Amino acid sequence: MMKWKKALPLILIVFILAAVPVPSAAAKEAPTAGITTEVEILPNGDRIETVLVTYEQPDGAKSTRSGQKTKSYKNSSGAVLWSVTVYGTFSYNGSSATCTSATRSTTCPGSGWSIVSSSASKSGNTATAIATARYNNIDYTRSVTLKCSTNGTLS
């Protein structure tokens, strides 16, 4: 009985520590300052959804802005067939803005679809990603651009 009295506090500490939440990798990502979505309905009922995510500026980075813009090609049921995302980092000073980094990613969860090519580029205050997807031997190319204004607003 004496051993249990000595072990009980240790067991309680283990249970308390096990109940403390541990931040996931996703929680360590930059928090978002804003998300906007636009939807274009195509004649066949499919849609192109464009989502802009602007990230919070880190403390002390008052002249830097980062974000991403994704164009997703969805079928009429809303399932994503393929998408292309551009990620951009910009510097701005009130009178000009410059893209300092542009990268891209693609997804292709739609059955029968494949990504044939993709690229990213930067020019002036713009980051651009271009991707080509293929379905039934027909290529579909989409580009997505992310721009920064002189005051740090992404569009």
Q: What is the β-pairing status of strands 138-147 and 80-92?
A: unpaired
Percentage with pLDDT > 90 across the chain: 70
Q: Helix-strand-coil percent breakdown of the chain, rounded to 5?
A: 15, 55, 30
Q: Look at residue 32 and tell me whether its pLDDT is greater than 90.
A: no
Query: What pLDDT is recorded for position 61?
Result: 65
Q: Look at residue 20 and tell me whether its pLDDT is greater than 50.
A: no
For the entire predicted model, the pTM comes to 0.77
Domains and CATH numbers, the chain: 30-147 (2.60.40)
* Coil, strand or helix at 59: coil
Query: What pLDDT is recorded for position 89?
Result: 95
Mean pLDDT across 22-39: 61
Mean pLDDT across 129-153: 95
Question: Do residues 69 and 50 lie in contact, with contact meaning Cβ atoms separated by under 8 Å?
Answer: yes
Write out the two tokens for 131: 């991707």
Q: Compute the mean pLDDT over every residue in the chain, rounded to the nearest whole number.
A: 83
Query: What pLDDT is recorded for position 34?
Result: 79
Q: Look at residue 125 and tell me whether its pLDDT is greater than 80.
A: yes
